[in-house]
Amino acid sequence: MAEPVLTKSERTQERILEAATEEFAAHGIAGGRVDRIARAAGANKSLIYDYFGSKEQLFHAVLERHLRDVYRTVPFDAEDLPNYVGMLFDFAMDHPRLMRLVMWNGLERRWDWPLDETSSFSTQVAKIGAAQAAGRVADTCPPDFLLTLIITLASAWTVANPFGTSIMPDAADRRATLRVAVSDAVAQLTRRDLTVSASRDNSAGAM
């Protein structure tokens, strides 16, 4: 008898998380209203607090769930960063609500990213470092600089970047071109055979 009850509870939690995604993506943490979430989810407001603790914890649960989707859908691959950045670009373009949640999180709070050990930024940085040490990725840039550049570039034409769509209002229409450019840029910065010399004597006005 316990199982159907759990399933109903799970379905309610799903509806709450979906309604909360919508509410927080639109209004952020301070602006988000638990009673609107309750209404949209067809759930009792006090039930939301029972399940999730507080509005802040509900936001955290929403963010965590969507970030987990990223790591499941786009597994990190230090051995093929040009391909990885392309897949991450696709994911970012396809998930505007997640990008808004990420932005609100940055502005209103500084939750540690809810990441497990295999998907944490520091693990990814270590993997890039290892690929550099093994000579498979150019080591002109520090590995954490490379990871920042990759994630930043992948989301440059979403709401997570205040400049991208201002500079390129037609970014969505040029998605295929942008994807190639993003991937090529990362290829150029990580190619083993172009390192060191590539960043030298630039200002010499090469023609």
Selected range binding a copy of itself among 39-47, 54-62, 66-74, 146-154, rule: CB under 8 A:
146-154
In terms of C-beta density within 10 A (0-12 exposed, 13-18 middle, 19 or more buried), how is residue 126 classed?
middle
User: For helices 55-73 and 96-108, what crossing angle results, to 10°?
Assistant: 130
Q: Which of 44, 25, 24 is nearest to 13 (CA)?
A: 44
Gap between the Cα atoms of 56 and 62, Å rounded: 10
Contact pick of 17, 19, 48, 103 for a copy of itself (by CB under 8 A): 103
Q: Which of 77, 63, 64, 92 is nearest to 151 (CA)?
A: 92
Report the nearest approach of a copy of itself to the CB of residue 117 (Å).
16
User: For every residue of 103-164, which 3-state class applies, written as one string?
Assistant: HHHHHHCCCCCCCCHHHCHHHHHHHHHHHHHCCCCCCCCCHHHHHHHHHHHHCCCCCCCCCH
135 makes contact with a copy of itself (CB under 8 A): yes
Contact pick of 9, 106, 118, 173 for a copy of itself (by CB under 8 A): 106
Tell me which residues in 165-184 interact with a copy of itself (CB under 8 A): 166-168, 177-178, 181, 184
Report the nearest approach of a copy of itself to the CB of residue 205 (Å).
7
Helix (H, G, I), strand (E, B) or coil at 52: helix
205 makes contact with a copy of itself (CB under 8 A): yes
Q: Which tokens go with 107?
A: 């502005």
Gap between the Cα atoms of 123 and 116, Å rounded: 10
Q: How many residues bind a copy of itself (CB under 8 A)?
A: 62
Contact pick of 47, 126, 130, 187 for a copy of itself (by CB under 8 A): 187
Helices (H) and strands (E) in the chain, counts: 10, 0
Contact pick of 1, 2, 5, 206 for a copy of itself (by CB under 8 A): 206
86 makes contact with a copy of itself (CB under 8 A): no
Selected range binding a copy of itself among 34-42, 52-60, 65-73, 193-201, rule: CB under 8 A:
193-201
Contact pick of 70, 93, 102, 131 for a copy of itself (by CB under 8 A): 102
Q: Please give the residue ranges that form the binding site for a copy of itself (CB under 8 A).
A: 28, 30-31, 80, 82-83, 100, 102-107, 112-113, 121, 125, 135-136, 140-142, 144-145, 147-149, 151-153, 155-157, 159-164, 166-168, 177-178, 181, 184-185, 187-194, 198-199, 202-203, 205-207
